[in-house]
């Protein structure tokens, strides 16, 4: 069995992982990044629309942004984490620019009167963000292991000592003093998702198996702005200021009576869209001049699709995940986490433009904490762990995943009820049983399915326990929000 030794290992090659690795290396540590795909070219980071929203430093705007953020998350976000995100946001965006990213800047007004600055790459393509950052990683002394999947952490003598990985279907052990999980969300457990392949909740499942606490798994953001037909792409919500509307199959503008109409908070909008049989994008109210500012839409109209632009709500962002404090520490010594695999910042709903800022603020924080931990702690003598691997064969794991994803979408997706969740829970037990008998040709597919099943079960359990409707968590059998203290 091949073995590698490092001070700090970062799992995941998205933005959070890259920021964490760069910081840990700057602290003088030997750093290794392990990614199951390509570093800087995988995960949600590379498909992101690049929007970062921050309230500039030392202004009343930071206070107003905090209030808006906390209220939008329906008072479920951790105030300490939100404060860190908001106070460090501007500095973090400057740091991203210092890594070679070019942003366009704009100013926006919050519904409570505050002002925030929007930074985005133009055009809004994630690779404009990830490519320069990945170049910095390649130029640094960080070692990289790509196409290598982490399947578990090695947890011995009360602390993390390394990782068990899979590379070309072979087991590889990595010994390290500190591990940072930056594996992204778990949107792929749903059949309708904007998340790319590989976003299967591995980090959350690994952390939970090691005994770390997860939080808020019932809160999943369902995204309302994805055009499904005749082309799949995410709309720029600015079109709704220019006359675009959503209509249903009866040609009714179903958001008409909501204060912000098509620009309602994402949770409300997605839920209203889900209630319609079909939702179409109506561009007839846009001027030709405005339409031409959106070339893909203008093109579709030119091709005659103007009255057939079909929308689809999709699972977009995992608000829940590994519980961390503002230093990126989990409750396990030596285990750190950052980015979308963590939970607790956004609460029950996420504001647009906050996830990338989260990576930029908490990635470096986790990197710094892990480096300090690695410097202060000696390497342990490690006993190679016992591994429970499935027997290899010719079974197709995809068959199971194709049952799991629609099950989660229909029974534990946008709209939930106790009956559906209990049925889902029992079908998940059946699928887990099925997995234990499968003999895959690739260990990676088997372990991804195992993680997806584990996280699906946790999502369903959390959704069952939360007997209320709050933010993105809609329980049709408990349609009201329970009262809680909103005092800080
Ligand atoms: C279509 C889309 C548009 C978005 N637009 C915006 C936006 O404009 N603004 C905003 O703020 N947010 C946006 N978001 C959200 C934001 O992009 C993500 O929250 C953020 O990029 C997550 O970064 P991350 O580094 O935590 O994870 P990711 O970028 O998802 O990276 C996870 C990495 O971990 C690797 N990995 C996973 N499991 C393992 C394993 N077991 N072993 C090894 N490697 C593993 C993956 O291969 C990947 O490299 C968008 C999301 C989507 C899907």
pLDDT at position 157 = 86
Looking at the domain assignment, is residue 389 inside a domain? no
243/265 Cα distance (integer angstroms): 18
Check if 356 has its Cβ closer than 6 Å to any atom of ligand 1.
Answer: yes
pLDDT at position 274 = 94
Is the same domain home to 45 and 129?
A: yes
Looking at the domain assignment, is residue 485 inside a domain? no
215/323 Cα distance (integer angstroms): 6
Looking at the domain assignment, is residue 387 inside a domain? no
Is the same domain home to 270 and 232?
A: yes
Check if 217 has its Cβ closer than 6 Å to any atom of ligand 1.
Answer: no
Check if 54 has its Cβ closer than 6 Å to any atom of ligand 1.
Answer: no
Question: Which atom of ligand 1 lies nearest, measured to the CA of 13?
Answer: 49
Distance (Å) from CA 43 to ligand 1 centroid:
4
Is the same domain home to 184 and 263?
A: no
pLDDT at position 484 = 80
Q: Residue whose CA is closest, atom 50 of ligand 1?
A: 48
Domain boundary among 312, 332, 361: 312
CATH number (domain holding residue 414): 1.20.58.100
Distance (Å) from CA 197 to ligand 1 centroid:
11
Is the same domain home to 303 and 450?
A: no
Check if 328 has its Cβ closer than 6 Å to any atom of ligand 1.
Answer: no
Q: Which residues pair with 416 in a beta bridge?
A: 475
Question: Which atom of ligand 1 lies nearest, measured to the CA of 51?
Answer: 8
Check if 198 has its Cβ closer than 6 Å to any atom of ligand 1.
Answer: yes
When divided into structural domains, the chain yields a total of: 3
Non-local CB neighbours of 82 within 8 Å, separated by 6+ positions: 66, 69, 70, 73, 345
Question: Which atom of ligand 1 lies nearest, measured to the CA of 451?
Answer: 41
Vertex 195, ends 190 and 196: CA angle to 5°? Answer: 115
Which residue is it, tokens 């994803």?
405
Is the same domain home to 77 and 170?
A: yes
CATH number (domain holding residue 273): 3.90.700.10
Distance (Å) from CA 186 to ligand 1 centroid:
10
Check if 43 has its Cβ closer than 6 Å to any atom of ligand 1.
Answer: yes
Q: Residue whose CA is closest, atom 20 of ligand 1?
A: 45
Encoding tokens for residue 453? 């099943």
Q: Residue whose CA is closest, atom 2 of ligand 1?
A: 48
Is the same domain home to 120 and 208?
A: yes
Domain boundary among 279, 312, 345: 312
149/168 Cα distance (integer angstroms): 9
In angstroms, what CA-CA distances link 390 with 151, 201, 336, 393? Answer: 13, 20, 29, 9
Is the same domain home to 106 and 22?
A: yes
Which residue is it, tokens 């309230």?
55
Q: What share of the chain is helix, strand, coil (3-state, %, to 5)?
A: 40, 20, 40
Distance (Å) from CA 384 to ligand 1 centroid:
31
Q: Residue whose CA is closest, atom 12 of ligand 1?
A: 355
211/214 Cα distance (integer angstroms): 9
Looking at the domain assignment, is residue 386 inside a domain? no
Among residues 215, 228, 220, the alpha carbon closest in space to that of 199 is found at 220
Is the same domain home to 180 and 229?
A: no
Question: Which atom of ligand 1 lies nearest, measured to the CA of 149?
Answer: 42
Is the same domain home to 22 and 82?
A: yes
Distance (Å) from CA 99 to ligand 1 centroid:
19
Torsion of CA 391, 396, 397, 400, to 10 degrees: -120
pLDDT at position 57 = 80
Check if 342 has its Cβ closer than 6 Å to any atom of ligand 1.
Answer: no
Q: Residue whose CA is closest, atom 49 of ligand 1?
A: 13
Is the same domain home to 189 and 251?
A: no
Question: Which atom of ligand 1 lies nearest, measured to the CA of 124?
Answer: 8
Looking at the domain assignment, is residue 484 inside a domain? no
Looking at the domain assignment, is residue 327 inside a domain? yes
Is the same domain home to 127 and 205?
A: yes
453/283 Cα distance (integer angstroms): 40
Distance (Å) from CA 44 to ligand 1 centroid:
3
HSE-CB of 101 using CA atoms within 13 angstroms: 31
Looking at the domain assignment, is residue 440 inside a domain? yes
pLDDT at position 77 = 97
Is the same domain home to 55 and 166?
A: yes
Range of the domain at 409: 398-475
414/458 Cα distance (integer angstroms): 16
Looking at the domain assignment, is residue 471 inside a domain? yes
Check if 202 has its Cβ closer than 6 Å to any atom of ligand 1.
Answer: yes
- In this prediction, the residues of the chain whose per-residue pLDDT falls under 70 are 1, 487-488
Distance in angstroms between the alpha carbons of the first and the last residue of the chain: 52
- Pocket of ligand 1, candidates 9, 11, 37, 43: which has the most ligand atoms within 8 Å of its Cβ, to mutate? 43
Domain boundary among 312, 334, 355: 312
Check if 220 has its Cβ closer than 6 Å to any atom of ligand 1.
Answer: no
Number of H helices, E strands in the chain: 12, 22
Which residue is it, tokens 């479920």?
76
Check if 154 has its Cβ closer than 6 Å to any atom of ligand 1.
Answer: no
pLDDT at position 386 = 84
CATH number (domain holding residue 116): 3.50.50.60
Distance (Å) from CA 292 to ligand 1 centroid:
30
pLDDT at position 345 = 98
251: left (phi over 0), alpha (psi -120 to 50) or beta: left
Check if 33 has its Cβ closer than 6 Å to any atom of ligand 1.
Answer: no
């Amino acid at each position: 069995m091949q073995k590698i030794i490092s001070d700090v290992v970062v799992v995941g090659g998205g933005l959070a992982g890259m920021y964490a690795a760069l910081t840990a290396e700057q602290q003088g540590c030997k750093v290794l990044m392990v990614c199951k795909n390509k570093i800087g070219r995988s995960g949600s980071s590379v498909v992101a629309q690049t929007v970062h929203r921050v309230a500039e430093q030392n202004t009343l705007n930071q206070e107003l942004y905090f209030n808006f953020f906390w209220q939008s998350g329906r008072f479920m976000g951790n105030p300490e984490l939100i404060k860190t995100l908001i106070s460090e946001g501007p500095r973090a965006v400057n740091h991203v620019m210092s890594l070679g990213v070019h942003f366009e800047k704009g100013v926006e007004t919050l519904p409570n009167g505050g002002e925030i600055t929007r930074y985005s790459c133009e055009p809004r393509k994630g690779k404009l963000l990830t490519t320069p950052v990945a170049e910095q990683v390649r130029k640094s002394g960080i070692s990289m292991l790509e196409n290598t999947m982490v399947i578990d952490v090695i947890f011995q003598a009360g602390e993390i000592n390394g990782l068990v990985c899979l590379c070309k279907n072979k087991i590889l052990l990595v010994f390290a003093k500190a591990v940072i999980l930056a594996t992204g969300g778990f949107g792929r457990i749903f059949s309708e998702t904007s998340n790319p392949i590989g976003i299967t909740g591995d980090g959350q499942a690994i952390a939970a198996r090691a005994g770390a606490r997860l939080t808020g798994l019932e809160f999943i953001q369902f995204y309302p702005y994805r055009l499904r037909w005749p082309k799949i792409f995410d709309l720029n919500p600015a079109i709704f200021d220019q006359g675009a509307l959503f209509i249903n199959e009866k040609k009714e503008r179903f958001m008409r009576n909501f204060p912000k109409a098509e620009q309602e908070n994402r949770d409300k909008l997605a839920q209203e869209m889900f209630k319609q049989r079909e939702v179409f994008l109506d561009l007839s109210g846009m001027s030709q001049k405005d339409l031409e500012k959106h070339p893909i839409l203008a093109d579709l109209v030119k091709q005659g699709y103007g009255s057939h632009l079909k929308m689809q709500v999709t699972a977009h962002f995992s608000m829940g995940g590994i519980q961390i404090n503002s230093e990126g520490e989990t409750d396990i010594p030596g285990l750190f986490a950052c980015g979308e695999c963590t939970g607790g910042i956004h609460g029950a709903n996420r504001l647009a433009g906050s996830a990338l800022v989260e990576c930029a603020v908490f990635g470096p924080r986790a990197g710094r904490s892990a480096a300090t931990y690695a410097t202060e702690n000696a390497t342990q003598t490690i006993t190679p762990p016992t591994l429970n691997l499935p027997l290899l064969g010719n079974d197709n794991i995809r068959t199971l995943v194709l049952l799991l994803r629609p099950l989660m979408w229909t029974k534990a997706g946008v709209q939930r009820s106790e009956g559906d969740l209990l049925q889902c829970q029992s079908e998940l037990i059946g699928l887990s049983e099925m997995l234990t008998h499968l003999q895959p040709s690739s260990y990676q597919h088997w372990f991804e399915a195992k993680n997806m099943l584990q996280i699906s079960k946790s999502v369903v359990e959390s959704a069952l326990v939360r007997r209320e409707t709050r933010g993105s968590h809609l329980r049709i059998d408990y349609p009201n929000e329970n009262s809680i203290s909103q005092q800080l």
